[in-house]
Amino acid sequence: MEILVCVKRVPDTAENEISVNSAGNDIDRGDLVYSVNEWDNYAVEEAIQIVDRVGGNMTVVAVGDDESEEVLRREMAMGANDGLLLKDSAFEGSDGKGTASILKAAVQKGKYDLILTGAQAEAGAAQVGGMLAAMLDYPYASLVNKVEVIDDKKLKVGREIEGGNQEINEIELPCVLSIQTGINEPRYVGIRGIRKVASVEIPVMGASDLGLGADTVGTAGAKVKRVDYFVPEMGAGAEMLEGSTEEIIDKLVELLKAKGGLK
């Protein structure tokens, strides 16, 4: 099975202190550390496991700048066979549809049976996977938490629905799946693993390689534009507890007791 996994380089929420920048149009990116989007990491692990079970080949692809190469390498150290970087100054400022268009062009340059994306990335829009499927006219399953290969034409995919219930669907290949965290336990990639793939060539494709008009992607092609970025004002009924961790805990316990949440 030929698998393509779409990955994104994002600021790691666990290892950063995120704040809105002074211009109010983005987060402050001065002191951030980046890593692969957590959902994508599960998608890559799932692809590796599928290839281990049924054979085949997997490629990781990212839309981004030179620094996205580091993320591709990490996923290749995990076990991806090939990497592909989609980089062009014309891609900058793409909205979700723009990103999906770029990925669609890349998918059509290859021959993939299965395309995996993370369920969502750090921005939380969760839109690229669905749009990509629609543009390709492929079937799509979202929030997938289980994949079973039936044969080279069909998969069985699972999805958790309200109340912890599980739903299983059959889906025809080629298809796009967006992968939910918890589907597997992604393997660890150490510094040694990354060094082993440090010198592997990663092909780069730009707008012209993909046959994309510069006005269809990037800022020029974006039909969704961010107009503001801010921390919401505290509404009525909201209260920020302050003090040391111990003090905060004590206050919280008191509040919970007062409101009958704790007896």
Partner 1 sequence: MGTFLLSFFALLIPVAGIALFIYIVARRLAPLFRAAPDFRFDNIGKRLFGLYEYPHHRMPRPGYELSGYIHITTIICLGVLSLQVITLLLQGISPSFSLPFLDKGIIADGYRMISDLALTVLLGACLLALYRRIILKPERYNVPKSYGKDKTFPDALLSLGLLASLAVLDIVYIASGWRVDAYAGADTHILIPFTGTWITATIFSLFSPTANQVVHVLSFMLLIVLIFGFVCYLPFGRFFHLVTGPPNVFFKKIKKGSVKPVKWGIADDKLDELESFGVKKFEDFTWKHMLDFYTCTDCGRCSDNCPATTVGRPLSPRFISIKGRNYAFSHYPLKGPFIQNEPLMGDVFSDDEIWSCTTCGACEEECPVTIEYIDKIVDLRRGMVDDGNVPQSLQKPLSAIEKRGNPWGKMEKKRGEWTKDLPEGCDVKLFEAGDTAETLYFVDSITSYDDRMISIAQATAKLLCAGGADFGILGKDEKDSGNEVRRFGEEMLFQDLKNHNTEMILESGVKQIVTADPHALNTLKNDYAGLPPVEHISQFLARKIKNSDISLKSVEKPEAVYTYHDPCYLGRHNEIYDAPRDVLDAIPGLRRVEMAKSRDRSFCCSGGGLMLFYEPEEEERMGVLRVKMAAEAGATVMVTACPFCLVNMEDAIKIAGLEGKLEAIDLAELVERHLDK
- Which residues of the shown chain bind partner 1 in the complex (CB under 8 A)? 12, 14-17, 31, 33, 35, 78, 185-193, 195, 244-245
Q: How far apart are CA 73 and CA 71, in angstroms?
A: 5
- The residue (of 168 and 248) whose beta carbon lies closer to partner 1 is 248
Residue 74 corresponds to which tokens in the numbers above?
A: 């990490």
Helix (H) / strand (E) element for 35: namely strand 34-36
- Give the DSSP H or E segment for 54: helix 38-54
> Helices 96-109 and 128-136, interaxial angle, to 10°?
50
Is 90 or 119 the residue whose CB approaches partner 1 more closely? 119
Query: 151-170: b or e for each residue (b if 16 or more CB lie within 10 Å)?
Result: eeeebebbbbeeeeeeeeee
Least distance (Å) between residue 31 CB and partner 1: 6
Q: Give the nearer residue to partner 1 in terms of CB position, either 69 or 92.
A: 69
Nearer to partner 1, 194 or 214 (CB): 194
CA-to-CA distance for 253 and 11, rounded, in angstroms?
33
Shortest separation between residue 5's beta carbon and partner 1, angstroms: 16
In the complex, least distance from residue 218 CB atom to partner 1, rounded to whole angstroms: 29
Residue with Cβ nearer partner 1 (165 or 245): 245
Least Å from the CB of residue 33 to partner 1? 4
Closest C-alpha to 186, from 53, 48, 14: 48
Complex with partner 1: residue 70 or 209, whichever CB lies closer? 70
CB atoms within 10 A of CB 81: 15
- Helix axes of 38-54 and 68-78: crossing angle, nearest 10 degrees: 40
Smallest distance from partner 1 to CB 245, Å = 5
3-state SS of 199-251 is CCCCCEECHHHHCCCCCCCHHHHCCCCCCCCCCCCCCCCCCCCCCCHHHHHHH
* CA pair distance 24, 44, nearest whole angstrom: 34
At its nearest, how many Å lie between partner 1 and the CB of residue 237? 28
- Taking the complex as a whole, the smallest distance from the CB of residue 129 to partner 1 amounts, in Å, to 24
The residue among 31 and 239 lying less far from partner 1, judged by its C-beta, is 31
User: Least CB distance from residue 258 to partner 1, whole Å?
Assistant: 23
Phi, psi of 34 (to 5 degrees): -115, 155
35 vs 101, beta carbon nearer partner 1: 35
